[in-house]
Structure 1
């Protein structure tokens, strides 16, 4: 069943985001928009952002691998979540320069990475 917007129900959309996010390999990142597209949700970057902001405490999903368009880190430096994201990415070998990640180097391309 679809909601009035023509999209699957929110719970099914969240599940698609979770399942897709779970597949992002260590050391790779995707943008919110790319995650939405990979999850079959079209241009639902804001839905992805909202979904990630509502993850339960203690979630083991790799939320830190989801970043803004063009490799921009959208969680502010100096905040608990922003610093945690940066630390987790660096621990996986992701280079951060000027609050950005090099998408050519660290971007996840499932069809090329087979993962």
Structure 2
């Protein structure tokens, strides 16, 4: 994984405003290469530098890393939730 790709992914994450989310797949499409798994790898290795909790699975499930604190961050930002485990993707994307 090259540094240019990592920087491109992280730059796109920085564009996601508080209370909103994007998906791993959407980030890959915006960057123009790779796929959800590659974006996930970038986030796992380098995501601490950005608001990692704003990147979620396509079904609205947040990342499970960082001891499951993604939901806490998302709630604090006012992200719309469907239930205790998933985001309302229509409202949050």
TM-score bin (small chain):
0.7 to 0.9
Q: TM (normalized to structure 2)?
A: 0.86
Cα offset, 1:73, TM superposition: 2.3
Q: Which residue of the other structure, out of 62, 69, 76, is the alignment partner of 1:73?
A: 62
Give the superposed CA RMSD: 1.9
Query: What are the superposed Cα offsets for residues 19-48 of structure 1, whole Å, 9 maximum, x if unpaired?
Result: 11110011100110011111222x511011
Q: Gapped runs of 5+ residues in structure 1?
A: 1-8, 108-115
Q: TM (normalized to structure 1)?
A: 0.71
| Cα distance in 2 between the residues matched to 1:70 and 1:50 | 19
Q: Which residue of 1 aligns with 2:86?
A: 100
| Cα distance in 2 between the residues matched to 1:10 and 1:49 | 14
In the comparison of the two structures, how many residue pairs are matched?
A: 92
Compared with structure 1, are the counterparts of its residues 85 and 40 closer, same or farther at alpha carbon in structure 2 (3 Å cutoff)?
A: same
Q: Gapped runs of 5+ residues in structure 2?
A: none
Structure whose alpha-carbon radius of gyration is higher: 1
Q: Which residue of 2 aligns with 1:86?
A: 71
Cα offset, 1:56, TM superposition: 6.7
